[in-house]
Amino acid sequence: MGNNRIANSPALAKIRKFGGVMSGMVMPNLGAFVGWGLMAAIFIPNGWFPNEKLGEMVGPILNYLFPLLIGYTAGYNIHGQRGGVIAAFATMGVIVGSNITMISGAMVMGPLSSWLLKKFDQKVQHKIKPGFEMFVNNFSLGIIGLLCAIFAYMTVGPVIRLLIVIITSGVNWCTTHNLLPLLSVFMAPAQVLFLNNVVNHGILAPIGFAQVPELGKSIMFLVDTNNGPLLGTLMAIALFGRGRAKKTAPMAMFIAGIAGIGEVYFPFVLANPLLVFATMGGLAVSLFLQVIMDGGLIGVASPGSLIAIAMMTPKSAIVANLVSISAGFVVSCTLGWLLLKISPGSEDDNEENPVIVGGRQVKSVSDFVPGMTVAGNAGKSIQRILVACDSGMGSSAMGASVLRKRLKEEGLESITVINDSANRVGKEYDIVITLSGLLERAKLSCENTDTTFMTVNNFIKLSDYDETVAFIKHRNQVDNNEATV
């Protein structure tokens, strides 16, 4: 229970929300990152099939397209099309004002410029005389965008360039002195607390992209996405764990390893926090081997699956990556076995997830008296459900698919099920389903006090939606009864 309180603390939820915002800038563009990574892995001078002409696209895509895509996406998330346009314009300031890849700069100027335009629009939208809307909209965007681009060119670009140089120098120093494994000390806990996107997209990936043109690869791409240690911990649970965790760990291994959805691993460690040391130890060993064997990836492995890692591995790092990931798996599995002997966890692991209805937490749907109108969603049946994960693209998409199947079996296929990030709950959903570690973040982004929140341990397990189905049937039955009275 203490672990749940820590994982769901409002302060931590705000940090996670910040991480989710950063992730929301990058995740929609990952297809382009994958395409660039394949292009680089194949056509650069030390690639699989070097081609000087085709290789000329690698640099411009990295230095221009990626920052613009991230800047535009960040702006669009904040203020729609207008936000995206001004964000792309402002991002050009940091691109031109620096001689390194400005992904970090785009993450600053994209949100900042679109937020400023949004505030301006809110101030003047009711004061514009009819017929002048287009004039005001175009000139306001142009003037604010111009000022933001100049500001970015003069200040943000140079500052971020200096910060990246300092951080990169620190990472290079750690690499030279074989201290890079120390990253595992904060990376492993950051993962299970859903803070991995803050570290990965905000710090590691920009450093990695800065290193690739010079080194041809970067270990930074294999700090968070290295799922060898993660899979090793799950294997220990599958072999030596107990109860529900033991039964569901094999499926979680498949999803994390092949589909690259790392979120399925997080609840296992939150339920038994000692296991974070198993992953930490495996990651430390894996990073150590990558340093001494010169491993790394050519780009972001997305999703973080073994298949994606293999596709992003250059010829020069095949052996290093294979050995380091395998060693991380073995070490974390061994440590997990030892830790499970010390703290095996609950025998049945059947603690029920909380249900929050109308702001009031109850133990489960079974607490509701049949025929009683449930607080929250009063007077309306369940029509729209949101399944929310960290980024809104991976595990929640699978969960939404599973829930749709379950609802169809129950004759409730008319209900709309959407998947999205816990940062974007808004006000249109009757029920929000998420992991316990994301509950506070989802509540922070919710704009409807009548929304019901439910948590699951595993997005892909049909039985984890029993409470949801029971609640829907009860709520809709109550509404039907009220309608016939």
Distance CA 235, CA 464 (A): 22
Structure tokens, 359: 């702001």
Q: Are 68 and 92 in contact (CB under 8 A)?
A: yes
Q: Are 259 and 305 in contact (CB under 8 A)?
A: yes
| pLDDT, mean of each 10-residue run, the chain (485 residues) | 50 58 70 73 71 84 88 89 94 86 83 94 85 86 95 84 68 69 76 60 74 81 86 91 76 77 69 84 91 85 78 87 94 93 56 53 48 43 85 76 88 88 82 82 80 82 82 70 48
Q: Which residues contact 177 (CB under 8 A, 6 or more apart)?
A: none
Among 148, 333, 389, 446, the one annotated catalytic: 389
pLDDT at 442: 81
pLDDT at 342: 80
- What 3-state class would DSSP assign to 110? helix
Q: Which whole-number Å values give the CA distances from 197 to 23, 137, 191, 465, in the listed order?
A: 6, 34, 8, 27
pLDDT at 378: 45
Using CA atoms of 367, 371, 373, 375 in order, give the dihedral in degrees to the nearest 10. Answer: 0
Residues in the chain: 485
pLDDT at 450: 80
- What 3-state class would DSSP assign to 419? strand
Distance CA 263, CA 391 (A): 10
For residue 369, the surrounding DSSP H or E stretch is none
pLDDT at 170: 67
Q: If you search the block for the tokens 């499926």, which residue do you land on?
A: 251
In sequence order, what are the beta bridge partners of 361? 356
The Cα diameter of the chain in Å comes to 77
Strands (DSSP E) contained in 368-439 are 384-389, 416-421, 431-435
Distance CA 264, CA 281 (A): 20
pLDDT at 147: 96
pLDDT at 479: 53
Q: What is the DSSP letter of 348?
A: S
Q: Are 437 and 5 in contact (CB under 8 A)?
A: no
pLDDT at 349: 45
pLDDT at 16: 56
Q: Which residues contact 1 (CB under 8 A, 6 or more apart)?
A: none
- What 3-state class would DSSP assign to 56? coil
Active site residue 174: no
Distance CA 423, CA 25 (A): 12
Q: In the predicted model, what is the mean pLDDT of the chain?
A: 78
Distance CA 14, CA 36 (A): 32
Other CB atoms within 10 A of residue 263 CB: 25
Other CB atoms within 10 A of residue 462 CB: 13
Cα angle for residues 154, 157, 159 (degrees, 5° grid):
95
Distance CA 440, CA 352 (A): 17
Q: Are 270 and 296 in contact (CB under 8 A)?
A: no
